[in-house]
Amino acid sequence: MLLDDIDLALIKELEKDARISSDLLAKSLDISSTTIRRRTRRLIQEDVIKIVAIPDLKKLGYSFIVGIQMELDQKKIENVTKELIKHPNVRSVWTVTERYNLTSMTVFKATEEFSEFMRAIVGEFDGLKSVETNIYLELIGSQSQVKS
């Protein structure tokens, strides 16, 4: 699907506030609200965007955010990924380049919960060669993924 400048501007505005009304978006982008609704529906149907709630993890009690990098046998990555993504503490899983070929972003309410996860879940993965963790201390900033 080819995206034009209107699609990109629409996506950028929806990233700021996905609940904004079509009428306000139309005024902001200087196009009709019918066009806004039609394009938004198309972007959703074609899986270009998803309208979701993004929880504030700290307000939900998840004060311990950890990146877990794993070096796995290549043949085991798919199975490990399937197991990881099922776990409620796992927010995302990525295949990556270099030594650690799989990384995940995980959230925990306490260090004990993290310790148990590492021992009972990660420690049991077949094909795990090595693991490294990074504790995320403070979110300094983030930005929209769309550049228009």
Counting the structural domains of the chain, the total is 2
Residues 110 and 82 occupy one common structural domain? yes
Residues 81 and 117 occupy one common structural domain? yes
Amino acid code (one letter) for 116: E
Residues 21 and 78 occupy one common structural domain? no
Within a domain: 52:
no
Give the pLDDT score at 65. Answer: 95
Give the pLDDT score at 34. Answer: 97
Residues 74 and 127 occupy one common structural domain? yes
The parent domain of residue 89 ranges over 64-136
Coarse DSSP helix, strand, coil percentages of the chain, rounded to the nearest 5 percent? 40, 20, 40
Residues 72 and 114 occupy one common structural domain? yes
Instruction: Read off the CATH number of the domain in which 123 is found.
Output: 3.30.70.920
All residue ranges of the chain with pLDDT < 70 are: 144-148
Give the pLDDT score at 107. Answer: 97
pTM for this structure?
0.78
Residues 130 and 88 occupy one common structural domain? yes
Give the pLDDT score at 146. Answer: 64
Within a domain: 59:
no
